Amino acid sequence: MTVEFISVGTEILLGNIVNTNAAYLSEQCAALGLSCYHQSVVGDNEERLEEAVRQALSRSDILILSGGLGPTKDDLTKEVVAKVFGKELYEDTHTKERIEAYFKRVRSEQVTPNNWKQAMVPEGAKVVDNHNGTAPGLIMEEDGKTAILLPGPPNEIKPMFERDIAPYLNRLQPEGIYSKMVKICSIGESKAETMVADLMDAQTNPTIAPYAKTGEVHFRVTAKAASPKEAKKLFAPLMDELFGRFGDKIYTTEEEVTLEAAIVSLLEDDKMTLTTAESCTGGLLAGRIMNVAGASNVYREGYITYSNDAKERLLGVKRETLMQYGAVSAQTAEEMARGAAKAAGADAALSVTGIAGPAGGTPEKPVGLVYVGCYVKGHVRVEEFHFTGNRDKNREFAVARALTLLREELIGRK
């Protein structure tokens, strides 16, 4: 089945907000095995929105619209879709009661008359309760076509999709759609995709699709099957093949497990502790680790040593090292890692020092040059990287490479 997305809102067209909903819906529907060939953004204009809805329904089985379900006059999604389907609007008592209850619960303001606009729903539509706002979702079906209307705020659309819409879409398929995520680090996107090119060329059921992440590559393996048990049988040969090709570069096959979570788990298994010493990343590395629930079991403390003085005073980096090699050097990264481990009394330490940009580079040490040091129980490994993004991207990639380096060293000890 084919699905198409229309994001509604002039503020998206003007660039006032980033259209994260489209990315989210695309990923979720791909995971459900739906094919998407078109997606668009339409401003708050009735004529243009109607044209876009009619065109989308003419070529796709399912149309998902996000946004335009609010209480104001420029929120037109529901009215336009009802017009296209030839349906009148009526006041839904259940939705009105939920809106009243919502305002009583938040007690932030009184219900204004325009809020009752959100209780008006098209005839025959299935109402999807909004547990995080006032605008309900709607499902409309007619002549083999389906339109799904969802609220715009991400904190409303995501829980609604996962709670109600994903199960609904799954039921539309003649077979169930099951998927597993294979997450890989220590290898680049191009090489990873080349290593599975033959599998992708020959795929039927299950299928494999690559997703590039910062410093990682993810493969989603999707199968159509009558039951989870049957899907597991379909998965098995392909999963064995992937493990045969990538080995321990696969750090998880669970959707919810992040690289930092996998690393925390490795440290816990080995009863090891960790510290970090950061210069150009300024705490981003520590933040990634502390995002993991239970990280306090392994993470001791961290050091942000942006200045040379801090590197000397907190980490014991030798002044001679800084004078001879500079703050951005393999030698400094090594001493930062050793010094952090000693200061924190930790078994492992990561250090990052580099030139994130946009200024500060020289011909000898250009912007994007980063050294990452990894200390594990007396052994230090330092890697040199040359990133080519902007300041934010360079810092993000430095953190990703640091985490990958630590995992490699922990795995290498086993």
User: Which of 156, 172, 188 corresponds to the end of one domain?
Assistant: 172
Residue type at 30 in one-letter notation: A
Average predicted confidence (pLDDT) for the chain: 94
Same domain, 21 and 143: yes
pLDDT in tens, 366-390: 999 999 999 999 999 999 999 999 9
Q: Rounded to an integer, what distance in angstroms lies between the CA atom of residue 164 and that of residue 399?
A: 36
Same domain, yes or no: 168 and 224: no
Residue 107 clears pLDDT 70, i.e. is over it: no
Whether residues 25 and 89 fall in one domain: yes
The residue segments making up the domain with residue 299 are: 259-412
Same domain, 283 and 365: yes
Question: Do 369 and 282 belong together in one domain?
Answer: yes
Counting residues of the chain whose pLDDT is more than 70, the rounded percentage is: 99
How many structural domains compose the chain? 3
pLDDT the model gives residue 123: 96
User: Lowest mean pLDDT: which of 83-92, 95-104, 130-139, 244-253?
Assistant: 95-104
User: Both 57 and 27 in a single domain?
Assistant: yes
Which residue, 371, 332, 267, 355, is CA-closest to 275?
Answer: 267
Question: Is the sign of the CA dihedral 252, 254, 256, 261 positive or negative?
Answer: negative
For the stretch 204-221, pLDDT in tens is: 999 998 888 899 999 989
Q: Are residues 135 and 38 in the same domain?
A: yes
What are the CA-CA distances from residue 357 to residues 53, 354, 362, 363 (Å)? 45, 9, 11, 13
What tokens appear for 314 in the block?
């907190």
pLDDT at 375: 98
pLDDT of residue 4: 97
